[in-house]
């Protein structure tokens, strides 16, 4: 067995010996059961210390290439990889779960999958979702615009866009943002695949394992999942009729020194609460004082029934503390997966870096289509129409629920957004209600996913009024009230629904 | 100052004291410059040990709420947050970089951005990109299909799809995959936003900091970035005319015990090499023997000029070791951002979990559009057309380069894919060539980004022949050869281009 030592090479001598023997075994030069020279004789042959050969043989043993047997010496073991015939393999199937990273976070996919599933069943009326009414989709306008874009932009529609999104849409969003009081340059605007991706990028950029993150309680379940998947610790700030309670916030800022605050200041999901202007300023002041950035998820702000406009936090912020996320998913439709982030150039640059790694850019056609939808003035008209439609659906759902006069059922009337956040009577167990609701053929969202710790004392349910038709709202409320009655402990007397024009305590 | 201690409460007594004083300060009950009782007297008042009060005061000091002054005692500090007027703030702008996670990986965005930028300049001829020819886009067919889909699917085109993608497309891809020898159920197929997202999800699911990952060397730069962003360690396996060298692979498997192997077995980017059938089986055998999963990026397999079909690794794999990623980005166009993963149900479930966190689902319209494009048989026809087109462009580029007879320039002729991988003459410094090329008005890809360690001894460049027109190929090659001549050390004699029908050593 020839071994050549190169004393000018950086590789340690023992490793040179090991590597050469290894190569001889794998290449088949040394056959199975070949007896290696003794450590002493090899050491003599290549003129090294015996301990060097011992070390080389130890490495070979550790890798399962050779084995020492008393009386027989060091023997080359049969290499399965060399002898296996591909077509006659007896190896078992892979067990993928043993390869999964310790950091991998499994979310509440089952719940969401269940709810998405329920939307497919025609017999079930779902108040559980959070999508726009399909009656409102401007199908004919989009069809016309698609043909228009195809003629105007031609091959551009099929090309990649910049990682920041196509310039036409960024300019259109710049103008759109101005209507919300936000003055940003196009360099401060980036297209994302929905606000979901914006929240994900923000978490990816800032959250380290163990970081504290403050959110409204309750809040968007997707945000909680994202922050937890980044191994952040999520702490809830209670919400009342003026939105996030800023006095409690200051206490929590002091106690936890969080990495950032995530908020949906307008018609937040699920509570429907809106941060008052006074509190918006208070929130910013606290952010400045404690040097805590804010992630503003503005998804629902345009579904505004009151006519009263609240400036976005980004519009009020003069110190660059706010990263603003916007979307057409709630005002137009969800299927496009187009949202945007408005932030200073530093953040936009980092988000671009993440875009390049995760999916390169968002769908090109959808970007041009939406830019034309905005530029040609269709968006403004569409918004007026859907807001009117959703307001009347909200009213209908509230009125229908009131009719049933269930004692202890507390309703809030949100001034915008997608949801009623209902407090259930105290004598109801949620799991029992769920069972009855499924039997009756109606779906709602349970409260747990909206809380960072996954459970609360008071039982609320979230009801969506935008997706179901008016007939479905009537029939669905009937079924739900029947389910609530059946789930109630029998002896409870029935009476008035507690009802208020402002949000009660959330 | 009243402090109430609850001895039945889980909160330590010192923290009860601290929290109560903190609340009094923030609420304004204790005004600025209020003098707290001495530690001794408060200890006496609430009947605790003095050290308990000392600890409480220390916490208050640490949070900047109070300060001790010799002779004055412990004083409540002015709380800026309480006294600040929002409109008269003097706080500085935020410094975002100080909040960024230590784990955040900044990629070679500048290079890619530069190249994308170059595509916009009309005067520069770019061989640097990796996108299909815009002449081939089936604009009229897509226009017809869009209208067809709009009439057929209506509101479905605007709704969210499942996190796994729309069933119509998954079924169409199931059938498409069968033509590559892959038999998968629809439950084993998931839609992603391009193969990019598939690679990202795979890394997200499996890579932990420090994990070793084996890739071909050179390989797709985006994959290297993704693995490094997940803090994996990337090790290259050399490639020759038969693709990844499986004998070296075995050595590296032994040495590094990697988490997985990433490979582009067909017409890989950038080298154009294709793994022979013998090596495909060898690769799988080694994967089984060393229990190392394989991520198969099959992006280029359909751009096949030879007519010889290679079964995908997924088709050969009977032990579930391969996760297969496919895409229409190279055969159709990039702007759709639709790709797919084929893997067992366990992996698809985990990918779904990641989809839900990162962007919910891919663009709905693009999914339906592509499913109709496949179902109605347009794809097969389109593929025949583009493969013919790209083959003649490859021939043209090779012939043009050969004409200039630059000594030491080595060309490989790939049997498919998008790129020529050219070895430069030895007397050229790459940075000098880059400068000359920019002056001449031609762009190419330098080799460094395709190597995991970012630098190699031999200087190669990657030239794309699919995107430029035939006139641009002629003119661009002229400019590039001029740049090479100028970058060469003067005294070098000119002669024959070394030229082979097979790939030389990469």
Q: Residue B35 in contact with residue B74, Cβ under 8 Å?
A: yes
**Axis-axis angle for helices B50-62, B39-46 (nearest 10):** 120
Candidates A105, A356, A382: best to mutate against B (most CBs of B within 10 A) is A356
**Residue with token string 């008393």:** A70
**Could you count the other beta carbons within 10 Å of the beta carbon of residue B491?**
6
Residue A459: pLDDT over 90: no
Give me the pLDDT at residue A505, please.
33
Whether residue B178 contacts residue B310, with contact meaning beta carbons closer than 8 Å, is answered with: no
Residues B500, B506: Cα–Cα separation, whole Å = 13
CB pair distance less than 8 Å for A356 and B103: no
- The encoded tokens of residue A130 equal 């959070």
Q: Which two tokens stand for residue A82?
A: 């060399």
Question: In this structure, which topology does domain A134-380 adopt according to CATH?
Answer: 3.40.640
Eight-state DSSP code of residue B309: -
Residue A151 forms beta bridges with which residues? none
Q: Which residues make Cβ contacts (< 8 Å) with residue B408, sequence separation at least 6?
A: B423, B424, B425, B426, B427, B492, B498
Chain A interface disruption, residue of B357, B365, B449, B467, most A CBs within 10 A = B357
Residue among A212, A333, A348, A219 nearest A271 (CA): A219
Q: How far apart are CA B343 and CA A230, in angstroms?
A: 25
B454 has pLDDT over 80: no
Q: Helix (H, G, I), strand (E, B), or coil: what is residue B110?
A: helix
Quote the ipTM score: 0.84
Q: What percent of chain B clears pLDDT 70, i.e. is strictly above it?
A: 90
Contacts of B229 in chain A (CB under 8 A): 357
User: What are B10-20's pLDDT values in tens digits?
Assistant: 788 898 898 88
CATH number, domain A109-132+388-499: 3.90.1150.10
E strand or H helix at A17: helix A13-27
Question: Quick one: closest CA in B to A91, which residue?
Answer: B288
| The total number of residues written for chain B in this structure | 506
Calculate the alpha carbon distances from B35 to A227, B44, B46, B63, B160 in Å. Answer: 41, 17, 17, 17, 61
> Tokens 């196509």 sit at which residue?
A166
- Domain ranges in chain A? 13-86, 109-132+388-499, 134-380
Q: Is B143–A139 a contact, with Cβ atoms under 8 angstroms apart?
A: no
Residue A272: pLDDT band with limits 50, 70, 90: very high
pLDDT of residue B457: 59
Tokens of B168: 């119509």
CATH fold for the domain made of A13-86: Arc Repressor Mutant, subunit A (1.10.10)
Ranking A49-63, B177-191, B396-410 by mean pLDDT, the lowest is A49-63
Distance separating alpha carbons of residues B482 and A191, to the nearest angstrom: 40
A109–B206: do the CB atoms touch at under 8 Å? no
Task: Measure the CA–CA gap between A175 and A181, rounded to whole angstroms.
Answer: 10
Q: Is there a contact between B285 and A63 if contact means CB atoms under 8 Å apart?
A: no
103-162 in chain A: CB under 8 A from chain B: 103-107, 109, 112-113, 116, 131, 134, 137, 139, 142-143, 146-147, 150, 154-155, 157-162
Interface check B311 vs A, CB under 8 A: no
Q: pLDDT tens digits for A476-500?
A: 999 999 999 999 865 444 554 444 3
CB contact under 8 A, B81 and A318: no
Tell me which DSSP letter residue A445 carries: B
The pLDDT value recorded for residue B503 is 35
What are the φ and ψ backbone dihedral angles of A146, each rounded to 5 degrees?
A: -60, -45
**Predicted local confidence at residue B247, as pLDDT:** 87
Instruction: Find the mean pLDDT for residues A306-316.
Output: 91
CA distance A227 to chain B (A): 10
Maximum C-alpha span of chain A: 101
pLDDT of B274: 96
* Angle of CA points B485, B490, B493, to nearest 5°: 80
Per the CB < 8 A criterion, the answer to whether B357 and A226 are in contact is: yes
CATH 3.40.50.300 fits B109-132+387-499, yes or no: no
Question: Is residue A305 over pLDDT 60?
Answer: yes
Say how many CB pairs under 8 Å bridge A and B: 300
For the segment B126-149, the average pLDDT, to the nearest whole number, is: 94
Q: What percent of chain A has pLDDT over 70?
A: 90
Of residues A146, A320, A352, nearest to B93 (C-beta): A320
List residues bridging with B263 in a β-sheet.
B296
Burial readout A306-339 (b: 16 or more C-beta within 10 A, e: otherwise): eeeebbbbbbbbeebbbbbbbbbbbbbbbbbbbb
B143·A150 Cβ contact <8 A = yes
Whole-number Å distance between alpha carbons of B56 and B345: 55
The nearest alpha carbon in chain A to B367 belongs to: A335
- Report the gap between the CA of B493 and the closest CA in chain A (Å): 35
State pLDDT tens for residues B201-220: 999 999 999 999 999 999 99
The DSSP H or E segment spanning B239 is strand B233-240
Q: Is residue A297's pLDDT more than 60?
A: yes
- pLDDT over 70 (residue A61): yes
Cβ <8 Å between B207 and A101: yes
- Joined together, the tokens standing for residue A57 give 């043989």
Instruction: Print the SS3 string covering B372-401.
Output: HHHHCCHHHHHHHHHHHHHHHHHHHHHHHH
Q: CA of A240: how far to CAs of A306, A309, A505, B24, B294, in Å?
A: 18, 19, 5, 22, 52
Percent of chain A topping pLDDT 90: 66
Task: Kindly tell me the burial class for residue B430, based on how many C-beta atoms sit within 10 Å of its own C-beta (0-12, 13-18, 19 or more).
Answer: middle
Instruction: Compute the mean pLDDT over every residue in chain A, rounded to the nearest whole number.
Output: 89
Are residues A247 and B27, on separate chains, in Cβ contact within 8 Å? yes
Q: DSSP string covering B357-370, please?
A: HHTSS--HHHHHHH
Instruction: With CB atoms and an 8 Å threshold, state whether A116 touches B162.
Output: yes
CA distance to A295, B75, B77, per residue, from B14 (Å): 34, 18, 20
**Closest residue on chain A to B368 (Cα):** A335
Q: Residue B421: helix, strand or coil by DSSP?
A: strand
Task: Give B343's pLDDT tier (boundaries 50, 70, 90).
Answer: very high
A277 and chain B: CB distance < 8 Å anywhere? no
For B290-322, the pLDDT digits (tens) are 899 999 999 999 999 998 888 999 999 989 999
Burial B168-203 (b: 16+ CB within 10 A, else e): bbbebbbebbeebebebeeebbbbbbbbbbbbbbbb
Pick the CATH number of B135-380 from 3.90.1200.10, 3.40.50.720, 3.40.640.10, 3.40.720.10: 3.40.640.10
Q: Which of B458 and B196 is assigned the larger pLDDT?
A: B196
Residues of chain B positioned with their CB less than 8 A from the CB of A208: 101-103
Q: What is the pLDDT of residue B63?
A: 78
Please name the residues in contact with A188: beta carbons below 8 A apart, sequence gap of 6 or more.
A342, A343, A344, A345, A348
Both tokens assigned to A33: 């059961």
Pairing of strands A233-240, B442-443: unpaired
Decide if A146 and B142 are in contact by the 8 Å CB cutoff: no
B376 touches chain A (CB under 8 A): no
Quick check: B365 contacting A, CB < 8 Å? yes
Task: Tell if the CB–CB gap between B360 and A353 is shorter than 8 Å.
Answer: no
Predicted local confidence at residue A64, as pLDDT: 78
What topology does CATH give the domain B13-83?
A: Arc Repressor Mutant, subunit A (1.10.10)
Residues of B in contact with A20 (CB under 8 A): none
Query: Of A126, A279, A357, A364, which to mutate for an interface test with B (greatest number of B Cβ within 10 Å)?
Result: A357
Tell me the chain A residues in contact with residue B220 when contact means C-beta distances shorter than 8 Å: none
Q: Does A210 touch chain B (CB under 8 A)?
A: no
Q: Which of residues 78-107 of A touch B (CB under 8 A)?
A: 80-81, 84, 86, 89, 91-94, 96-97, 99-107
Q: What are phi and psi for residue B319, nearest 5 degrees?
A: -115, 15
Place of tokens 């969003």: A173
Q: Per-residue pLDDT tens for A25-47?
A: 877 788 888 999 999 999 999 99
pLDDT at residue A457, as a whole number: 59
Rounded distance between C-alpha atoms, residue B154 and residue B140, angstroms: 20
What is the nearest CA distance from A466 to chain B, expressed in angstroms?
13
Cα separations in angstroms, A61 against A70, A367, B248:
15, 59, 20
- Write the CA distances from B429 to A21, B433, B434, B488, integer angstroms: 39, 6, 9, 8
In angstroms, how far apart are the furthest CA atoms of chain B? 99
- Closest residue to A80, CB basis, from B96, B289, B359: B289
């Amino acid at each position: 067995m020839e071994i050549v030592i190169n004393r000018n090479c950086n590789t340690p001598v023992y490793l040179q010996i090991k590597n050469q023997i290894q190569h001889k075994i794998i290449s088949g030069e040394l056959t199975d059961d070949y007896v290696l020279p003794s450590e002493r004789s090899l050491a003599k042959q290549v003129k090294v210390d015996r301990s060097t050969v011992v070390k080389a043989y130890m490495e070979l043993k550790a890798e399962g290439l050779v084995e020492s047997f008393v009386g027989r010496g060091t023997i080359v073991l049969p290499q399965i990889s060399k002898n296996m015939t591909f077509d006659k393999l007896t190896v078992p199937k892979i067990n993928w779960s043993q390869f999964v990273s310790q950091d991998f976070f499994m979310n509440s996919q089952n719940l969401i999958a269940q709810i998405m599933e329920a939307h497919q069943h025609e017999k079930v009326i779902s108040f559980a979702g959070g999508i726009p009414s399909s009656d409102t989709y401007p199908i004919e306008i989009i069809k016309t615009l698609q043909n228009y874009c195809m003629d105007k932009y031609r091959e551009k529609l099929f090309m990649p866009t910049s990682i920041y999104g196509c310039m036409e849409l960024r300019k259109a969003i710049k103008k759109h943002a101005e209507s919300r009081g936000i003055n940003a340059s196009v360099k401060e605007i980036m297209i994302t695949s929905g606000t979901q991706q914006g929240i994900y990028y923000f978490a990816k950029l800032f959250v380290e394992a163990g970081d504290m993150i403050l959110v409204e309680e309750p809040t968007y379940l997707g945000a909680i999942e994202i922050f937890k998947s980044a191994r952040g610790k999520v702490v809830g700030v209670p919400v009342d009729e003026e939105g996030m309670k800023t006095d409690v916030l200051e206490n929590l800022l002091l106690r936890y020194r969080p990495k950032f605050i995530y908020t949906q200041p307008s018609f937040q999901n699920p509570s429907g609460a809106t941060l008052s202007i006074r509190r918006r300023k208070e929130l910013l002041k606290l952010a400045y004082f404690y040097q805590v950035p804010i992630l503003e998820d503005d998804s629902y702000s345009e579904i505004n029934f009151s006519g009263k406009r609240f400036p976005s936090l980004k519009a009020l912020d003069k110190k660059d503390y706010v990263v603003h996320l916007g979307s057409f998913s709630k005002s137009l439709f969800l299927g496009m997966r187009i949202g945007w982030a408005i932030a200073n150039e530093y953040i936009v640059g980092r988000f671009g870096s993440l875009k390049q790694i995760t999916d390169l850019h968002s769908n090109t056609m959808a970007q041009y289509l939406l830019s034309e939808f905005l530029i040609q003035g269709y968006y403004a008209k569409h918004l007026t129409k859907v807001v009117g439609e959703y307001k009347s659906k909200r009213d209908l759902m509230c009125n229908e629920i009131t009719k049933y006069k269930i004692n202890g059922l507390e309703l809030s009337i949100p001034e915008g957004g997608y949801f009623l956040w209902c407090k259930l009577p105290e004598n109801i167990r949620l799991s029992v209600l769920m069972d009855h609701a499924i039997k009756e053929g109606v779906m709602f969202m349970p409260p747990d996913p909206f809380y960072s710790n996954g459970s609360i004392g008071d039982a609320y349910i979230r009801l969506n009024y935008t997706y179901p038709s008016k007939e479905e709202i009537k029939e669905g409320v009937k079924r739900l009230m029947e389910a609530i009655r059946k789930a109630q402990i029998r002896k409870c007397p029935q009476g008035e629904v507690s009802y208020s024009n402002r949000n009660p305590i959330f």
